[in-house]
Chain A
């Protein structure tokens, strides 16, 4: 299937909005979408979502013969699979442009920058080495695949543990996880890719572009930075003015972002190891139960506020601390407004600030007669 064509008015609208420093989803020019990292039950399995963009990473290992040119180093293979699940214009099997770009950029950032200690993966030089495979699957494409994929890659590699081995006179013994504790990989530095979309001849730079912004942008600039302020990969596609200044501007922002992302990964890893240690339920099943991994659990409706309701004119039985009204997400496209004193006609012209709470279990249809039901269009 071909990529859907963006209409001229959509393009013009987006460009006009960007020139006024506004973005279509209400974010600021330098605001990132929510990043969340969830680990599965096995070591090396992790799902990362940046807003609606989702990437699943899985690390596996096996013993192979090393490359002839590097006989005492392990192997690291990275593969990003764009399946039609992620977007209708992705094709299985065919290596499209975006697939090549993603693969090469991640390879440069992680393999060429020597982020994993490959020498420690050697068992018997020239004969047996560990071959680490990192497979990333794009589950949903809502822009900025490269960032999400790089976070998933790093999180999966940091989470992974390989089995312990021992070389005896009889041969090689590979110990099971129950017998001997598996060993984590040696990670020398933590590279993260940060992408920027450039508009209006370099005047407007936007961070974490959404899918539409990516396609309309004049240029897309991706930087791979690590915690030591080193650049692991740089890629600019498209055309933009005054290259060196843009590089400098973006590099500082990218560095800050990389530092915060690495801190988040470490935090999530620590939490996960805590859960494993205390033997509680963990993994994707648990995430489904808690409502943190399914799309219905996440707030979908985001209505920007124009002006808040004047509180004084309301009746005395106005609820609690919050000056804005509570809205309950019932399902996709329906919200229930819980306010004791607002008349339906008044709110027709006003746009209300919504704080959609992900209460998956409590889809309550309460019989409180003070409630006014407002169906969103």
Chain B
């Protein structure tokens, strides 16, 4: 892979995108019957499933209740077949625990938890194919699943990961939005930003990978923020489409029954 350039001289990335292009997002809500809300999201080749149970009563562990708000429990898991080498520990190792913790914090800020005191909302995420931006795809999928479950949110939680292509031929380094696996592993920093786009609020910010010079942080952060806003447009369209479909199905089956 030596000589593989993240950004070619024509301004194309390894998968043929431009630096400010997102990958194709496909999503479907209400994929499972058991959970209260579920969603399937594809961001390029990254495929994620999300399931939400709740709000429901806390059974076993009384210590995990808050008297004034709901307790959010997120579990992040990567299927053993999701990466190129079989993953030995799908969940429970330190990195997954850190993801769990980050997801908990994000959704505690985004869900209107004060409406459900003493109850619990569980969010389960499974990565079926990991092709970069796994965390961001999980956040987006979880948002759709929460909307499908009917849990009130302050706003869509949209997440995007951006990176910085090294400078070539004297040009300043270019920030690129929505990284894939090659761009993540080959080097360069990865800035993951989760925002509530309409409220202009940032709920999570994380830098991973190599170091990033302070002067470059502004363009990279801006790129991630606009990427998240663009993703919101896609998710919004998907939600409205899903709701329209559901209503239509109801009408069709309800013909003949009492109004």
Please give the residue numbers on chain A whose beta carbons come within 8 Å of chain B beta carbons, in ascending order: 2, 95, 97, 100-101, 103-104, 108, 112-114, 189, 221, 225-226, 228-244, 246-248, 251, 255
Evaluate contact between A235 and B206: CB separation under 8 angstroms: yes
Measured CB to CB, the closest approach of chain A to B65, in angstroms, equals: 11
Binds A, one of B143-151, B173-181, B197-205: B197-205
Measured CB to CB, the closest approach of chain A to B103, in angstroms, equals: 11
Measured CB to CB, the closest approach of chain A to B202, in angstroms, equals: 3
Q: Which of A240, A244, A251 has the most C-beta atoms of chain B within 10 angstroms of its own C-beta?
A: A244
Measured CB to CB, the closest approach of chain B to A2, in angstroms, equals: 7
Please, which residue of chain A has its CB at the minimum distance from the CB of B212?
A231
Interface status of B59 (Cβ within 8 A of chain A): no
Q: Which of these, A232, A242, A246, A255, contacts B211 with CB under 8 Å?
A: A232
Evaluate contact between A244 and B225: CB separation under 8 angstroms: yes
Measured CB to CB, the closest approach of chain A to B210, in angstroms, equals: 7
Evaluate contact between A100 and B204: CB separation under 8 angstroms: no
Evaluate contact between A103 and B195: CB separation under 8 angstroms: no
Provide the B178-218 mask, 1 if CB < 8 A to any CB of A, else 0. Answer: 00000000000101010110011111111111111111011
Measured CB to CB, the closest approach of chain A to B198, in angstroms, equals: 12
A108 to B209, CA, bound (A): 8
Q: Which residues of B contact A244 (CB under 8 A)?
A: 218, 221-222, 225
Measured CB to CB, the closest approach of chain B to A244, in angstroms, equals: 5
A221 to B203, CA, bound (A): 11
A375 to B187, CA, bound (A): 63
A317 to B193, CA, bound (A): 66
Q: Which residues of A contact B225 (CB under 8 A)?
A: 243-244
Evaluate contact between B193 and A243: CB separation under 8 angstroms: yes
Further pairs besides A112-B208, A234-B205: 11, Cβ < 8 Å: A225-B214, A226-B211, A231-B207, A234-B206, A235-B207, A236-B203, A238-B105, A239-B110, A240-B202, A241-B199, A244-B221
A255 to B215, CA, bound (A): 12
A103 to B222, CA, bound (A): 28
A112 to B187, CA, bound (A): 11
Q: Which of B189, B195, B206 has the most C-beta atoms of chain A within 10 angstroms of its own C-beta?
A: B206
Q: Which residues of B contact A241 (CB under 8 A)?
A: 199-202
A229 to B216, CA, bound (A): 10
Q: Which residues of B contact A189 (CB under 8 A)?
A: 211
Evaluate contact between B207 and A101: CB separation under 8 angstroms: no
12 contacts between A and B (CB under 8 A): A100-B98, A108-B208, A234-B205, A235-B206, A235-B207, A236-B206, A242-B200, A243-B221, A244-B218, A244-B221, A247-B205, A255-B214
